[in-house]
Amino acid sequence: MPDLMKGSLLYREAQAEHEEVLKHKWYESEKKGYDIGFEVAQVDWRIKYGSQWHRERQSRHFYHRN
């Protein structure tokens, strides 16, 4: 992947979201006692936390630009 893409805000946001989903997968898998899988964790995280997480990230980027 070109460095230009890796440095883009879109790429960094996708990476940050991916890390959040991986953390969520770990927590939920520990609670259930088995690996819930990435896809299940991703859907669950997006339903429970995705909107709020994105709003907070967007407001942080907005305030850092000004």
Domain that holds residue 61: 34-66
Q: Which residue has the higher pLDDT, 38 or 57?
A: 38
Nearest-angstrom CA–CA distance, 11 and 3: 11
Nearest-angstrom CA–CA distance, 28 and 13: 22
What pTM value is reported for the model? Answer: 0.80
52 domain-assigned = yes
For residue 41, give the nearest of 59, 50, 28, 55 by alpha carbon: 28
51 domain-assigned = yes
Judge contact between 25 and 36, C-beta under 8 A. Answer: yes
48 domain-assigned = yes
16 domain-assigned = no
47 domain-assigned = yes
65 domain-assigned = yes
For residue 28, give the nearest of 15, 19, 37 by alpha carbon: 37
27 domain-assigned = no
| Structural domain count of the chain | 1
pLDDT digits (tens, 9 = 90+) for 1-54: 566 666 788 888 899 999 999 999 999 999 999 999 999 999 999 999 999 999
